[in-house]
Amino acid sequence: MTSRARRSALRVARTVALTALLVTVPFASALVAVGYAPPAHVEVAGQQVSVRPVLGQDTSRLFQGALVRPQHQRVAGKTVGVDIDADWNRLVPSDKPTRRYLAGLWENPRPAIHLIGATARRHLLLWGTGGFGAGVLAVGAVVGLSWQRRRRLASYSPESAELVTRHNRRLRLTLVVSGVVAALALDAVAARVWLHEDHRTPVASPVFDGTPLEGTQVTGLLADVLPFLSVLRPRSQFYEDASANLKAALAAQPDLAGGDGEVVFVLADDFEDVNGMARQVGLTARLLDADFVALTGDLTFAGKRLELYVLDTLDYYAEDRPIHLAPGLHDTPTIVAAAEDRGWEVGDGTTQDVSGLRLLAAADPRISTVGNFGTSDVLRDPDVDVDRFVGDMIDEACTEHPDFVLVHDHLLGRRIAESGCVGTAVLDGRSYDFLGPQQVPTATGGTATEFTLGSAGGHADTRPNPGIIAHPARFAIVYVDPDTRRTRYAVVSVTPDAGVTITPPVALDTPYP
């Protein structure tokens, strides 16, 4: 082979090698970004939880491995686990009454696991895409500068081009060597991230048997709080049984899915931290493929951030169906803001088009002070008292003539119904007893329908109880023909033995027995 041929072959080999190296840069950047990205954060029950996906790890680990679960995903043939951390002192407070209350509220970890998993996937996609994009930009910059240099040299005479090339040879060589070293170092770090393997087989702790945490291993000092964790078992099993019975009851009555063209929505009031019943309402909406969920307030008891888990539970089981909320007295600005952050439609006193229906919803004008150890209520807006609120709602109803009005307090709802301006019914609650539809005399001499719910949390008094219901808990399924406005309803009842009964759908003017 002649010297010219050897030089030509070397140039081709060098070009191929540099091209191959440049091609690896975006992929290596993506791996390095994922491997060294800071953790993501998600709020679970008012607590900031850090979430960090780990390539090559086949478990999810909480509190630096104090809890080990077998959950992981596979991405491009690689196992991806998750490291999770939070402030344990906030999660498990020192006083027993608070621990028991929180255990009842957080008895079902599935919504939290869903939030954490979604956060991990989003984090992986964000950093992987960002790293790949940064690599593409870097390669693009190198190719662009090289092309610009060649274009400028081509504009010179051969003698000038040769002179410039000789003059810049050392600088060019330095830049090329530095770039190659940087790319190789990036590839080496990326290879280390990709080849990382961390396998562990959890030794399941028996205390979790029969609970949604079954299969989890507890290590280290966390075993000291197992008595706290063990109270999850009876509560979780109760609502597992209730969910199974709910599915069977819905399957036994195919007509509960609604007729052709009917708008179907699930209607509930007053969870007041009974997280297990939020699960039943969301599950009903999902199984019936309801158009939306309507809530007449009092999702929580104290309106604190730690109670937001109820919202996440409803979202999880309803599978992100639209949720319309008329905040109640216990729905503080903290709860209202959290509902809006989750994309819920919070009533603002204006009429909205919802699935072919006209819906007017508004927050109760009062806020309970029980969460701050008060004994009375304060106005949500100092300029809007109860009488002005009712007057504003009547004015809006008589102007827009909505199909439904959604408010929390049945005493206020009745006054709105008496105006005679609501097309189908006023939907309200704040009643321990499920009253159903009632015919209300109107100012014009006719009648209007007020539909009053009972406590979906099974409450019979104001004492908070986030755990197993002690009294029947009820909520409704509403069916509306958008053309004829023919409306029907069914009532779902969950009893303290985890039994579930559902009444057949009947016309809205049929009293609830």
Torsion of CA 243, 247, 252, 257, to 10 degrees: 120
CB of 486 within 8 A of CB of 480? Answer: yes
pLDDT tens for 130-156 read 999 999 999 888 888 888 877 887 888
- CA separation for the pair 370, 182 (Å, rounded): 61
Asked whether residue 252 falls in the same domain as residue 177, the answer is: no
Asked whether residue 254 falls in the same domain as residue 161, the answer is: no
Mean pLDDT of 258-267: 95
DSSP-assigned states of every residue in 266-321: EEE---TT-HHHHHHHHHHHHHTT-SEEEE-S---SS--GGGTHHHHHHHHHHTT-
Report if residue 17 sits inside a domain.
Answer: yes
- CATH number of the CATH domain containing 485: 3.60.21.10
Mean pLDDT of 63-71: 84
Q: Which residue would you say has higher pLDDT here, 221 or 427?
A: 427
Picking from 195, 215, 244, the residue at the C-terminal end of a domain is 195
Q: Which residue would you say has higher pLDDT here, 228 or 300?
A: 300
Angle CA(235)–CA(236)–CA(239) in degrees, nearest 5?
90
DSSP state of 398: H
Rg (CA), the chain: 31
- Lowest mean pLDDT segment, chosen from 95-109, 116-130, 167-181, 488-502: 95-109
CA 460 to chain centre: 30
Residue in the structure block whose two tokens are 């995903």: 73
Closest by CA to 72, choosing from 53, 86, 44, 85, is 53
- Lowest mean pLDDT segment, chosen from 58-67, 158-167, 435-444, 453-462: 158-167
Tell me the residue type at 15: T
Report if residue 321 sits inside a domain.
Answer: yes
158: part of which helix (H) or strand (E)?
helix 158-167
Reported as a pLDDT band with limits 50, 70 and 90, residue 512 is very high
Residue in the structure block whose two tokens are 């919504």: 111
Alpha carbons within 13 angstroms on the beta-carbon side of residue 409 total 17
Give the rounded percent of residues in the chain with a pLDDT score beyond 90.
61
pLDDT of 221 strictly over 70: no
Helix 309-318 / helix 333-341 crossing angle, nearest 10 deg: 30
pLDDT of 390 strictly over 60: yes
Report if residue 334 sits inside a domain.
Answer: yes
pLDDT of 358 strictly over 90: yes
Mean pLDDT of 272-295: 97
pLDDT of 228 strictly over 90: no
Asked whether residue 247 falls in the same domain as residue 148, the answer is: no
- CA separation for the pair 476, 474 (Å, rounded): 7
pLDDT tens for 359-368 read 999 999 999 9
Mean pLDDT of 91-108: 72
Mean pLDDT of 238-246: 94
Asked whether residue 334 falls in the same domain as residue 447, the answer is: yes
- Rounded alpha-carbon distances, angstroms, from residue 460 to 89, 180, 428, 468, 499: 33, 74, 17, 13, 18
Report if residue 4 sits inside a domain.
Answer: no
Mean pLDDT of 97-120: 82
pLDDT of 6 strictly over 80: no
Give the rounded percent of residues in the chain with a pLDDT score beyond 70.
93
Mean pLDDT of 237-262: 94
Residue 200: Cβ within 10 Å count: 14
Domain tally, the chain: 2
pLDDT of 233 strictly over 70: no
Closest by CA to 415, choosing from 435, 384, 387, is 387
> What is the extent of the structural domain holding 77?
11-195
pLDDT for residue 16 = 79
Asked whether residue 189 falls in the same domain as residue 304, the answer is: no
Mean pLDDT of 242-250: 97
pLDDT for residue 92 = 62
- Lowest mean pLDDT segment, chosen from 11-20, 23-32, 276-285, 320-329: 11-20
Report if residue 208 sits inside a domain.
Answer: no
Report if residue 45 sits inside a domain.
Answer: yes
pLDDT of 224 strictly over 60: no
Reported as a pLDDT band with limits 50, 70 and 90, residue 231 is very low
Q: Which residue would you say has higher pLDDT here, 421 or 11?
A: 421
Report if residue 212 sits inside a domain.
Answer: no
Q: Which two tokens stand for residue 66?
A: 């104090």
- CA separation for the pair 488, 341 (Å, rounded): 32
Asked whether residue 114 falls in the same domain as residue 242, the answer is: no
pLDDT for residue 63 = 80
pLDDT for residue 401 = 96
pLDDT for residue 180 = 84
- Rounded alpha-carbon distances, angstroms, from residue 350 to 42, 132, 346, 394: 32, 46, 10, 11
Asked whether residue 106 falls in the same domain as residue 242, the answer is: no
pLDDT of 238 strictly over 50: yes
For residue 66, give every residue at least 6 positions away whose Cβ sits within 8 Å of its Cβ, in sequence order, or none. 218, 219, 220, 221, 222
Asked whether residue 61 falls in the same domain as residue 186, the answer is: yes
Picking from 195, 222, 244, the residue at the C-terminal end of a domain is 195
Asked whether residue 191 falls in the same domain as residue 239, the answer is: no
- CA separation for the pair 351, 326 (Å, rounded): 12
Alpha carbons within 13 angstroms on the beta-carbon side of residue 26 total 13
Report if residue 432 sits inside a domain.
Answer: yes
Mean pLDDT of 122-137: 94
Asked whether residue 178 falls in the same domain as residue 240, the answer is: no
Asked whether residue 137 falls in the same domain as residue 237, the answer is: no
Reported as a pLDDT band with limits 50, 70 and 90, residue 334 is very high
pTM: 0.86
Closest by CA to 102, choosing from 269, 224, 235, 247, is 235
Helix, strand or coil for residue 426? strand
Picking from 171, 195, 219, the residue at the C-terminal end of a domain is 195
pLDDT for residue 412 = 97
| Per-chain mean pLDDT for the chain | 89
Asked whether residue 102 falls in the same domain as residue 244, the answer is: no
- Lowest mean pLDDT segment, chosen from 135-149, 219-233, 389-403: 219-233
Mean pLDDT of 391-413: 97
pLDDT tens for 38-57 read 999 998 888 888 999 999 99
